[in-house]
Structure 1
């Protein structure tokens, strides 16, 4: 797929422009900073893009204001007393230093992180994120199987990685779906929506009417789940949602 990218300034707002083989213009505003992205067919010129952005400037500003008000987590030190989200539920962390390797367990309203006595902050983060990755994969694999069968597409391979601009991504040609590690913090229903969203792209690559019709048919409450995901507390890092 031929994709061209450029940046335009419209009314003091930086706009990311993506030209690719699609039929219609699609404009989106993404958290946390209100990044504006316009996807257009290759034939659409810069003036048409500027007009589309100016026409929807009021909506863009309202979306940006909502993101500014969204809750954000402080930087994590992975020490006792911190709150960490695990599939949408807040838990208090208890840090235990002992000999041996690292381990994470959940009991009641606590997440216990056990690490060697000399483990620094980066070691604790890596240990905790390995655990998050494993738990997320356990949930992703059945969902990929379910939605592959439901949508009638060949089951792709699923990977977990940290992404700075999207909750998930896919490569239909390569048969691969990627899920943002941050989804280990989000409610299970939002993860279900995300996997459905990405696998629907194996049928329709754009976010056009056909794609929306697929979500409406197979996951009628997808808009509610999308909005819930976008309202979830953002990590200290600059994450943003790249979903329709």
Structure 2
């Protein structure tokens, strides 16, 4: 799937995105809970770059937990950024946020960030070189020693347990209100439009983009979360 097709898809689903995935909230919440510890040693007035911010779920969580942090929400889908902006206004932290609809390379150069998030974004880059380039671009935006936390779908799709894991994951998502047609589309998308790599391969790819050896701090089903410091 091309970038403009992804942007259009997320624009289309933005108004109902949170409601559609409400049943999967425990996975998101566990990731956010551990994220507090990953970022615990950042400055009290830290600046965070949120790549693929979507509707702003992780920003909202971190804004509540760290009341002096400032955020830049970046997403290529304008409708997602508008949902993020609305959440920030509704929850009272909009004055600590900047919003940018576009890709990372369209972001003006500014003060380096103390930390960054990139949740369920890089898996859509099928070309390993493009995926590495995304993380290298994030590294360039971080101060030396700045912390990146990211999550992606990951599994060894050649392993004997992958069919069983995929069935389990489809069953988990079916409880999120997805019908049989939607699940069939997701299976097709995974095979065609999502770069599902073994977890160690994802970590190695990010390390090659200018980060120290990543630490895998979270797993729930096929979603894995890592953190790594910029070298």
With normalisation by structure 1, the TM-score equals 0.21
State the structure with more CA Rg: 1
Relative to its length, the structure with more helix (as a share) is 2
Q: Which has the higher contact order (CA 8 A, sep 6+)?
A: 2
Relative to its length, the structure with more strand (as a share) is 1
